Amino acid sequence: MIAWWNALPLEEQLYLGSALLASGVLVVQLLMNLIGAGHIDDIPDIGDGMHGSGLGVFSVRSIAAFFAGFGWVGLIFRQNGASMPIAASIGALSGVLLMGGTIYLMRSMIGLQDSGTLNYANAVGSIGTVYVTIPPGRAAGGQVEVTLQGRVVFADARTNATTALKPGDKVRIVDRLGETTFVVEPA
C-alpha cells in the first residue's frame, strides 16, 4: 500500500489525500447524525453570523464538501490526462458547487423544522364557532373553537356585542386579549 501511494505523482497524492480526508469527515458526520450525536458543527462558523449552526459558508460540513468535490473530481481529471491547471480548475469548480449544494440543502432542511408552538395571533381574521356561550360586553366565560395552524383549538373568548353569542354561532376573531383570549364578533 505504501509503495502504491509513493508511486503516485505528488498532485494525485494531494487530490486523493484531500478527497479521502474530507470524505471521511462527511461519513463521520453522517454516522453521528444517524445516532443523534451529529453536533460536530457546534464550533462557530466564521463570519456569517450563524452562531455554530453548521449552515454557514465556513462550517466543517461545507468545507469538507468542498474538499471532497475538489479532491475526487481533480483526481479523476488528472488520471484521465488533463493538465494540472485544468484538473485544479474543474476540481475547484466542482468543490464550490458541492459546497453550495450542501449549504442550500442544510438550510432548506432547517426551514422544515417547526417548534409546534401555537401563535394565537395567526387566528386573527379567522372564522370560528362558539363553543361556550360568550356573554355580552366583554364579560369573561365564553369559549370558541377555531382551527389554528392546522389544529382545532378551544380558546377563551369575549365580545363587544350587546347580546350573548350562543353555541354554534359563527364568529370572526378580530383581536386578542393577552396571549390566548380572543375578541370575536358575529360573522
Place of cell 373553537: 145
Confidence (pTM): 0.57
Element (DSSP H or E) covering residue 24? helix 10-34
- CB of 112 closer than 8 Å to CB of 128: no
φ, ψ of residue 160 in degrees (nearest 5): -90, 0
Helix/strand number for the chain, H first, E second: 4, 5
For the segment 136-162, what is each residue's pLDDT rounded down to a tens digit? 999 999 999 999 988 999 999 999 999
Element (DSSP H or E) covering residue 185? strand 181-186
- CB of 79 closer than 8 Å to CB of 67: no
For the segment 15-61, what is each residue's pLDDT rounded down to a tens digit? 999 999 999 999 998 888 888 776 544 444 444 444 445 556 778 88
The architecture CATH gives domain 120-186: Beta Barrel (2.40)
Q: How many CB atoms lie within 10 A of CB 167?
A: 14
Residue span(s) of the chain under CATH 2.40.50.140 come to 120-186
CB-side neighbour CA atoms (13 Å) of 149: 10
